[in-house]
Amino acid sequence: MKKDSQGFSLIELLIVVAIILIIAAIAIPNLLKSRMAANQASAVGSLRTIDSGEIIYASTYNTGYSPTLAALGPPASGNGGASAAGVIPSDLAAGNKQGY
């Protein structure tokens, strides 16, 4: 008796699913490590920006370091001053950037 089957058998489909799961099990931890490294690099860059902003603030206003992180950020409207120096971006001055 000859079988004329069209399509894939259940065993073939299970093998393909198993191969996909093995590849995913290898790839997902590497992707998570890459994302963690990128977040850490972003945090280091943000800290450098804040440090530079503090130095600029201290030399401009001669009052030492800024009292708050928002004081380094841009003013809501109008001209800046000691309460809103505008030396760091607004998302960083708000205290939350990319989940940090």
pLDDT in tens, 26-68: 999 999 999 999 989 989 999 999 999 999 999 988 888 899 8
Q: Give, as one character, the DSSP assignment of residue 16.
A: H
Residue 81 confidence (pLDDT) above 90: no
- Give the residue from 62, 79, 72 showing the smallest Cα distance to 94: 72
State the DSSP string of 58-87. Answer: HHHHSSSS-SSSGGGS--SSS--BTTB---
Predicted model pTM: 0.69
For 30, the enclosing helix (H) or strand (E) is helix 10-61
Which pLDDT score is estimated for 2? 58
* Confidence grade of residue 6 (pLDDT, cut at 50, 70, 90): confident
For 48, the enclosing helix (H) or strand (E) is helix 10-61
